[in-house]
């Protein structure tokens, strides 16, 4: 079977905080021939793990890298790695994913009001424009 995993399934797999749901999620993982993991689901998962579970960037990175090692998992791996690179330098995972996927879609410059995101992405040699209000 081929599945797309929702954020709540990813969170159960990462946290194991609900025995019944975690077992069901693992069973799906074990029976699937393909599990599509959209970048948006990973962005949501990171947000939930940071805000709701107070996971550290290291714990989140470990959870995502563990997921990427599952043979049946299919995702935009370069975008996920871009997100992890920003997360591991103190930024938001989603900003790295957005910048990467934007470039892939033809956007040559990341436009933001977020000073921290702009700085981190510039440090990664991405073209960034910080919008400032007067």
Cα within 13 Å of Cα(3), Cβ side: 18
Question: Which phi and psi angles does 55 have, rounded to 5°?
Answer: -70, 145
* pLDDT attached to residue 134: 72
Q: For residue range 55-104, what is the model confidence (pLDDT) as tens digits?
A: 999 999 999 999 999 999 999 999 999 999 999 999 999 999 999 999 99
Domain range summary for the chain, segments of one domain joined by +: 1-75, 77-134
Q: Count H helices, E strands: the chain? A: 7, 5
pLDDT at 128: 95
Question: What are phi and psi for residue 29, nearest 5 degrees?
Answer: -55, -40
Helix (H) or strand (E) holding 26: helix 19-31
Q: What interhelical angle do 7-15 and 57-68 show, nearest 10? A: 110
* Contact between residue 42 and residue 14 where contact means Cβ atoms under 8 Å apart: no
Tens-place pLDDT, residues 32-69:
999 999 999 999 999 999 999 999 999 999 999 999 99
Q: How far is CA 39 from the centre of its chain?
A: 6
**Class (C level, CATH) for 1-75:** alpha beta
Residue 88 is given by DSSP the state T
């Amino acid at each position: 079977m081929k599945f797309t995993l929702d954020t709540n399934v990813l969170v159960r797999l990462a946290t194991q905080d609900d025995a019944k749901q975690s077992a069901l999620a693992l069973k799906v993982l074990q029976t699937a021939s393909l599990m599509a993991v959209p970048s948006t689901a990973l962005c949501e998962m990171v947000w939930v793990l940071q805000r709701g579970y107070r996971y550290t960037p290291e714990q989140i990175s470990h959870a995502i890298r563990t997921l990427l090692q599952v043979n049946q998992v299919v995702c935009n791996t370069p975008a996920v790695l871009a997100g992890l690179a920003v997360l591991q330098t103190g930024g938001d995972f989603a900003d790295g994913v957005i910048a990467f996927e934007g470039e892939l879609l033809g956007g040559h410059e990341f436009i933001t009001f977020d000073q921290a995101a702009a700085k981190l992405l510039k440090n990664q040699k991405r073209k960034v424009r910080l919008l400032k209000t007067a």
